[in-house]
Structure 1
Amino acid sequence: MSNKTADDARLLHEDQAEHSIRAFGQLTKVWLRSPDRGNARWLLFFLLALTVAQVLIQIRLNLWNRDFFNALETRDGTAFRHQIMVFLIYAALSMGVAVYQLYVKQLTQLRWREWLTRHLTEAWLREGRHYQLEMAGSTDNPDQRISEDVRISTDLALDFGVGIINSLMMLAAFIGILWTVSGSLQFAMAGHDFDIPGYMVWAALLYALLGTFLTWLVGRPMVRLNVERTAAEADFRFGLNRARESGEGIALIRGEADERRGLASLFKQVKGTWRGLMRSQRNLMWLTSAYGTLAMIFPTIVASPAYFAGAITLGGLMQIGAAFGQVQGALNWFVDNFGLIAQWRSAVQRVITFRDVIEELDTLIDDPNQPTIEVHETQDEKLVLNNLEVAFSNGTTVIADASAEIQAGERVLIKGESGTGKSTLFRAIGGLWPWGAGEIRTPPRKDMMFMPQRPYLPLGSLRTAVAYPAGVDAFDDAAMVEALKKVGLERLGKQLDEEERWDRVLSLGEQQRLAFARLLLHQPRWIFMDEATAALDEANQDAMMKLVLDELPEAALISIGHRPGLAAFHTRSLDLLRAEGGAKLSRPTKRIAKRQWPRAMAHAAKEARAQRRAFRRAKPAQ
């Protein structure tokens, strides 16, 4: 990479980091002004009050330091015992303030994290944004951004805020003390006499400025390296989770070796980013270690001429050393926290990038000047596709100029070759797929229910999975047991309150039948099935479809499927035909009159049985 390219990349990264910090500051203001902020302002007020109290205690202890060592120097036993009692009192106060300062700070961090997590989760899990972001490939690992990066962003931000306030107050207080007790430094040079008042203050400032500059210079790459490390760790963890979730498929085809190679490649990226970060931290550690070690004797060396000249007592020398240490600690805040600052900036950048991508997607979908699929929910009992064009997120057209109208109560089968966009069309109808153009007018969303090929079973009890997306109290036990019985899962009726990973306990066919039980409970007026019976044998498929017709005779049914037997359960079909520039939606085939449905279904079922018998007779003996 050329120097110019590297410099451009560095400047771009720094611009992104600055934008992220500004945006995070604006987000913090939103939190403090938000109606759902809770008692955040009071917590911050208490935290500030405790910080001020701790600084005042430290000022008093500095004065105690002088009196204590003076008592030692004069061998005054009474004064020595008195100073011991004074110390115990202030030490107890300091411990009490420190304990509650920590508690209030952690409580504030928790409230802040809770608020930010809730708002990001609401934005992510709203109107299919989580799915759209995944399809567009806009951000990686949203789970880590919401869980880990939000925690780091809020926790360290409050730590830094408290640390900076504490450092500024300590600096203001102890600079005055240090200026007063250090006196003036008088010396002659080149025939001129010089007098530097409060010279220990200038020594502390110069020492801290030099350390801060060197720390920034040496540790600057750590921000970029932390961003890369976090992304690599997230990718590696995702790979591990994916291998765990797909354990059965990997084991059956003996794909462990390939998975190991993939995970090794992901960990190689983790290792590479960590090695870069370790080198940067090693260089910074050389500097901070030398800087901190020298600071232990630096004030004593600088103040020793005044002590040997008799201008200050031992107590004064100790007070100067303590005050110098407090001033130095305040000025060294940047040096001491540089590594954490780099980690915080990387986490903030990931959080803000995640939020920005969601907002950009919202803007794209809501912008009337941007060509997207317009989905309008109406009170009409019909589904209308009007000049619909469906595309991928990269602009490639999948379905071109589709128009159709489906009335309430109709049963329509959508057919087409694999890759012609049948499932994508369903996603567009469900409002999940904004890429494309044209208009979709749907019946009320509350009357619609979608059944994908792999049903979603939430974590928790079986009762939760059966009632989903309604709450567990929406249906009584008798209704759930009856629905499970009708779909051939009566054995599960006694397990409603058992908590399992039901998506693993149940086979895919059982999961699909459970989805039909869910359908019977919710009784929607519009049913959309996307290969919802693909894991069932033909007999079970026919039973489930007949169950839908019997239990929900007035409901509209729009489904995708490839098996010939499905046609018997629909009144007409729409075909997606592959064509250059995007699949075309064929004109509807001839409708079957309602009075002919039973005859048509019986005829189709008879043909299907005859085909199965012929297949079995033709199958060679094993």
Structure 2
Amino acid sequence: MIRVGRPQRTVPAELASETARPSPLTPVSSMRSFWGLMRAYWFSDRWKEAWTLTLVIALLTALSSKSGVWFAEASGELVNSIAFFHDAANTTPLKSLLTNAGILVLLVILKDAGFTGIRSLVSATLHRKWRGWLDSRFNEALLDTNHTHFHAQHGSSGNAAPDNIDQRIQESIKDMTGGAIGLAMGVLAVATSLYFVGQKLLETSVEVRGLEFLGSYGSAVLAFLAVATYVPLNTWIAVKLGRLLERLNVRMQQSEGSYRGELTTFLRRSFHVAASQGENVQKTMHSRLYVDIDRTWARLNIVNTSYNSFELIYNFIGARIVAYGPGLVPFIHNGFDLKGYITGSEMVNSLISQCSWFIHVMPNIATLRANSQRVTELANAIDNVQQPQEFYSQTGRSDFRYDRQNPVFGLTIQKLELAHQGEDATPFLSAANLRFRRGEWTFLKGESGCGKTSLIKAINGLWPYGRGTIVFPEGIRTFYAAQEVKLQQVTLKQLVCLPGSEQDHGDAQVASALHKAGLGDFIEHMADESREGKNWDQVLSGGQKQKLVVARIILQQPGLLFLDEATGALDPEGKIAFHQAIKDNCPDVTVISVMHEATPPRSLSGAEFYHSVVAISDGVATKKPLAPSLPLELTTILAQPRPVPRPVEDKWLRFPRRLKQK
């Protein structure tokens, strides 16, 4: 298979592939694995922003963990002041009680409203920044000059196309980034809590009867042993439930994405459903798709309920039994006083709470895994289609060669064969040698389904399977006008300036193009994105949208123009005006056109717009000059009834007789 270098911007970008070169890197190439996805932002051009926010979060997390130790000590002081309120040695019981209670309240405010609250704000900012960066990376990767968004959706048996790309970019990235930041903060909180709380437990540790060989570290060892036994065992249970939640979350996303996609499609074809009275069929489709959502949701609810019950029981046992159990033995044997016992138990409770963070957020971790899987699958799909022909060659024959030549020679197609998926697929269309001169207008003719549109797609690099050589005239712009026109939600001027930017053309140029295309009534609305609350896709009729395409053509001045049933929504007069506008304003353009008509339209004067015809019959495309036709005026004259002349016998046959008589 031969490939050529990347062409200029005026040639379709998917034609750019180089010999023996690996797929180019994309904005998401580093995100094809879980860890690659997780670290990409921190090693990007936004690394200063990412690391600054991360360090602030780490500092606030450490302060929050340290304040947990202060909270445990203050709790011990408060309980102690309550226990010894009536002690004779306590000369200021009320003052001591209120002071300890006030300190505890201040610590709670400092910890929850200060450290934890500010950390939540900073982490939310990091979430927003990271998500926005990822969103921009995937949009840039999908909307490149390679038409990656198009190729990524045409995976086949060996290369399954990613479903619900919109859901992956928006919901999956949003949930994944939030879950990942929460997971990282939890891990950091566990580490800092182990350091600060563990250090304090070791400082206050005492000897325990029966464990004298441990010396003064007896109570600390009991506390660590209780945490090390209780938390990992229950974490293992949580992981098992979390994996089930992960599978159900993925299934739920797929089901909801399919249902949402069908709803979106239905709303776009609402008129056709109403015209065909197809509401009952549509309801059946919706019901069938929602059944999968309902069943998956039911299973998800059961697992979530089970997990919530497990978590409530775990929290109670951990906070009321496990946390107070290790210090009970030394307290009974007077190793601890009440204050030391409460303080130690609260610190164990804090340690359990921090180490149990994985259990508390296991559903979120399961969702994180599910979302990250869908994001990395999309990144892999994007990278896989960077060389479209290599991608399609895995499921069929894709051996197209695109080249360039002097524009004097126009467009050349050689030994072209188009097929469907499969290595042994029989070609449904072949063209041995087609040449289109500069300024030549060619009409594609053939029965429905013969491959007219497929031929135009193949010329533009948008047909996946087949082989052949297409040689473009060098340095010219190409323009592909399809039958169905979908308008993006931007200003009218931007819609006319596509595929360029509205900054590329002045208002006067755009207004002139609209006027020449027959849309002069809309000139005063060029700066508007909508009209009367409706975007332009809803405002303009099918025929007006096709006139808008004419305005684009006039403005862009392409050298090679493909009309794929681009006048289907116009009446005969509109079709003539469509062609005449192009003829008058783009004198040197080469036009290749597909229409339903048996014969191409002619101008009002009877002159032919088209010079040649490509006829497709029995899977073979052949080109020949268009049969000349008489001018319209002469055709009209010949078609008028003529009076029957008087018999000539009376005048000429009798004339010799008169001579004879004379």
Bin of the TM-score, shorter chain as denominator length = 0.7 to 0.9
SS at the partner of 1:232? Answer: helix
SS at the partner of 2:153? Answer: helix
Q: Structure 1 436/22 Cα, relative in aligned 2: closer, same or farther at 3 Å?
A: closer
SS at the partner of 2:386? Answer: helix
Distance 2:593 2:339 in 1: 89
Q: Does the CA contact (< 8 Å) of 1:70 and 1:313 recur in 2? A: no
Matched, 1:385 2:413: yes
Q: Deviations over 1:265-318 (max 9, x none)?
A: 110010111112122223323322221222231123453343344332222222
Partner of 1:6: none
Distance 1:527 1:257 in 2: 42
- Of residues 568, 578, 583, the one that matches 1:544 is 578
Runs of at least 5 residues in structure 1 that lack an aligned partner in the other structure? 1-19, 189-194, 593-598, 612-622
Distance 2:168 2:592 in 1: 38
Matched, 1:373 2:400: yes
Q: CA deviation at 1:25?
A: 0.9
Q: Deviations over 1:342-385 (max 9, x none)?
A: 11111111111111112122245368997442334556452222
Distance 2:138 2:319 in 1: 46
Partner of 1:337: 361
Distance 1:483 1:295 in 2: 75
Distance 1:37 1:436 in 2: 45
Matched, 1:585 2:621: yes
Distance 1:449 1:122 in 2: 22
Task: Report matched runs for 1:90-109 at 5 Å.
Answer: 90-94=107-111, 95-109=113-127
Matched, 1:60 2:53: no
Matched, 1:564 2:598: yes
Q: CA deviation at 1:187?
A: 4.3
- Of residues 613, 617, 640, the one that matches 1:573 is 613
Distance 1:202 1:40 in 2: 38
Distance 1:99 1:222 in 2: 29
Distance 2:121 2:434 in 1: 62
Task: Report matched runs for 1:84-483 at 5 Å.
Answer: 84=101, 86-87=103-104, 89-94=106-111, 95-126=113-144, 127-136=146-155, 138-181=161-204, 183-187=206-210, 198-298=221-321, 299-363=323-387, 365=389, 371-376=398-403, 380-381=407-408, 382-394=410-422, 396=425, 397-400=427-430, 402-444=432-474, 447-483=477-513
Partner of 1:495: 525
Q: What amino acid maps onto 1:431 in structure 2?
A: G
Distance 2:629 2:134 in 1: 57
Q: What amino acid maps onto 2:609 in structure 1?
A: F
Partner of 1:534: 568
Q: Structure 1 378/80 Cα, relative in aligned 2: closer, same or farther at 3 Å?
A: farther
SS at the partner of 1:237? Answer: helix
Q: What is the TM-score when the length of structure 1 is the normalising length?
A: 0.85
**Greater helix proportion:** 1
Report how many aligned residue pairs link the two structures.
Answer: 575
Q: Does the CA contact (< 8 Å) of 2:205 and 2:219 recur in 1? A: no
The higher radius of gyration belongs to 2
Q: Does the CA contact (< 8 Å) of 1:186 and 1:196 recur in 2? A: no
Partner of 2:50: 40
Q: Structure 1 606/234 Cα, relative in aligned 2: closer, same or farther at 3 Å?
A: farther
Q: What amino acid maps onto 1:407 in structure 2?
A: R
Q: CA deviation at 1:543?
A: 1.7
Moved more, 24-33 or 359-368: 359-368
Percent of pairs identical after alignment?
A: 23
Q: What amino acid maps onto 1:43 in structure 2?
A: L
Q: What amino acid maps onto 1:293 in structure 2?
A: F
Q: What amino acid maps onto 1:515 in structure 2?
A: V
Q: CA deviation at 1:196?
A: 7.4
Q: Does the CA contact (< 8 Å) of 2:75 and 2:104 recur in 1? A: no
Q: Structure 1 241/117 Cα, relative in aligned 2: closer, same or farther at 3 Å?
A: same
Q: What amino acid maps onto 1:403 in structure 2?
A: N
Q: What is the TM-score when the length of structure 2 is the normalising length?
A: 0.80
Q: Structure 1 602/358 Cα, relative in aligned 2: closer, same or farther at 3 Å?
A: farther
SS at the partner of 2:444? Answer: strand
Q: Structure 1 321/197 Cα, relative in aligned 2: closer, same or farther at 3 Å?
A: closer
Runs of at least 5 residues in structure 2 that lack an aligned partner in the other structure? 1-29, 86-92, 212-217, 602-607, 641-662
Q: Structure 1 439/186 Cα, relative in aligned 2: closer, same or farther at 3 Å?
A: farther
Q: Does the CA contact (< 8 Å) of 1:136 and 1:393 recur in 2? A: no
Q: Does the CA contact (< 8 Å) of 2:445 and 2:598 recur in 1? A: no
Q: CA deviation at 1:119?
A: 1.5
Distance 1:471 1:216 in 2: 51
Moved more, 327-336 or 296-305: 296-305
Q: CA deviation at 1:601?
A: 8.1
